[in-house]
């Protein structure tokens, strides 16, 4: 589903700050960015490489993107999709964002109005710590349990 609110907010922020170093994978967005570099889709290896090379990742609160950023040790700022706005089937991304925020693992902008302000301070973000096979068994189990709860 399109996530035009986020794409538009990042594009407008990049234009206002004269940034030409922003790339977005925008999926089925209807909004066409005017400032940022973008692609509708990228293959998994390019996705991982872009996250590894990024100073920070700005994304929806999807588990795949979150876990990839954690695995690669890249700071992540998420803005959850909303069911009421027809961006997702339910508000599981809101729950995901809140839970990982409470764990101190990521930053959250709850809407397109908070996002630009948080982007202004993006250099202050730090990675929530790398999650890999060397992560504590307790953390891995907590993540697995949480993922199963939000999938229901």
Confidence bin at 130 (pLDDT 50/70/90): low
3-state secondary structure of 143: helix
Q: How far is CA 113 from the centre of its chain?
A: 16
> DSSP letter string over 59-72?
E-S-HHHHHHHHHH
Q: pLDDT tens digits for 63-112? A: 999 999 999 999 999 999 999 998 998 999 999 999 999 988 899 999 99
Specify the pLDDT at position 9.
98
- Look over the chain and give the mean of its residue pLDDT values, rounded to a whole number: 87
Pair 85, 5: CB distance under 8 Å: yes
Q: Of the candidates 142, 133, 137, which has an alpha carbon nearest to the alpha carbon of residue 104? A: 142
Quote the number of domains for the chain.
1
Question: Can you give the CATH number for the domain in which 25 is found?
Answer: 3.40.50.2000
Q: Inform me whether the pLDDT recorded for 121 exceeds 60.
A: yes
Radius of gyration of the chain (CA): 15
35, 59, 124 from 48: Cα distances, Å: 23, 14, 22
Q: Give residue 104's pLDDT.
A: 87
| Residue 24 structural domain | 4-151
8-state DSSP, 32 = P
pLDDT at 3 over 80: yes
């Amino acid at each position: 589903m399109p996530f035009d609110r986020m794409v538009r907010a990042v594009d407008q922020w990049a234009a206002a700050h004269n940034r030409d170093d922003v790339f977005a994978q925008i999926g089925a967005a209807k909004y066409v960015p005017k400032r940022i570099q973008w692609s509708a889709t990228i293959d998994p290896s390019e996705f991982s490489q872009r996250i590894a090379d990024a100073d920070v990742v700005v994304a929806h609160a999807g588990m795949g993107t979150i876990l990839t950023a954690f695995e690669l040790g890249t700071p992540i700022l998420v803005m959850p999709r909303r069911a009421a706005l027809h961006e997702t089937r339910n508000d599981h991304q809101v729950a995901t964002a809140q839970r990982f925020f409470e764990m101190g693992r990521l930053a959250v902008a709850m809407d397109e109005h908070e996002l630009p302000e948080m982007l202004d301070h993006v250099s202050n973000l730090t990675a929530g710590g790398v999650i890999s096979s060397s992560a504590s068994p307790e953390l891995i189990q907590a993540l697995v349990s949480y993922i199963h709860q939000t999938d229901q």
